[in-house]
Amino acid sequence: MGRQHSMNGQRYTLPAIALHWAQAVVVIWLLWLGWTMIDLPKGAERSAAYGLHKSLGLLALLLIVIRLAWRRGNPAPRLLATGWEAKLATAVHHMLYAMLFMAPLAGYLASSFTPYAIKFFGIELPKLGWPDEALNGVFKLAHVAFVWGLAGLIALHVAGALKHALLRDGTMRRMLPGGLFKN
């Protein structure tokens, strides 16, 4: 079959595809918002940006929990890559899942140790902490570290996806809705 792989049973399920792309949109939005909001002057615009960032972060955390639960009952199709590429792809995917969980969790915990309410699109959520600048700083630092790690992993993931798109080896079709990227 050469480069033409049978896609029978090799595609991700529609829920897995939808969750992947929903997560991608939310995370890209979060990265952009996180990068731009820190330079805003104090005031209503900055407060709104931080509020949206926190809501999207909680949404990202919810999405990764749903994705992990889905994956538990619906294993991914086997990798088309072999050898070191398969090991790298597996490692990057596992680290992506870990960072997609840890970055928003650390952000939530950082927010839990401030005097401000945590709201999810206007709905106030319980906090796991109390106002404590030192603990806020620890979790904020962890959040930033996880986000930078996540950004690096996303770059690797996108580079791998581009490689497969250029090779037209069938890998891209597995995670794209419909018949995009036909060989």
Backbone angles phi, psi at 182, to 5 degrees: -70, 145
Structure-token pair, residue 130: 């109390």
Per residue in 73-115, pLDDT (tens digit) is 999 988 888 899 899 999 999 999 999 999 999 999 999 999 9
Confidence of residue 44 (pLDDT cuts 50, 70, 90): very high
Token pair 């796991």 is found at 128
Alpha helices in the chain (DSSP H): 14-37, 44-73, 83-112, 133-167
Structure-token pair, residue 171: 């890998």
Helical pair 14-37 and 44-73, crossing angle rounded to 10 deg: 150
Per residue in 5-21, pLDDT (tens digit) is 334 448 899 999 999 99
Compare 176 and 153 and report the one with higher pLDDT.
153
Structure-token pair, residue 84: 């070191």
pTM: 0.89
pLDDT exceeds cutoff 80 at 182: no
The whole-number average pLDDT for the span 37-48 is 95
Distance CA 64, CA 54 (A): 15
Confidence of residue 179 (pLDDT cuts 50, 70, 90): low
Average pLDDT, the chain: 91
Report the CATH number of the 14-174 domain: 1.20.950
Nearest by Cα to 146 from 42, 51, 44, 60: 60
DSSP H or E stretch at residue 53: helix 44-73
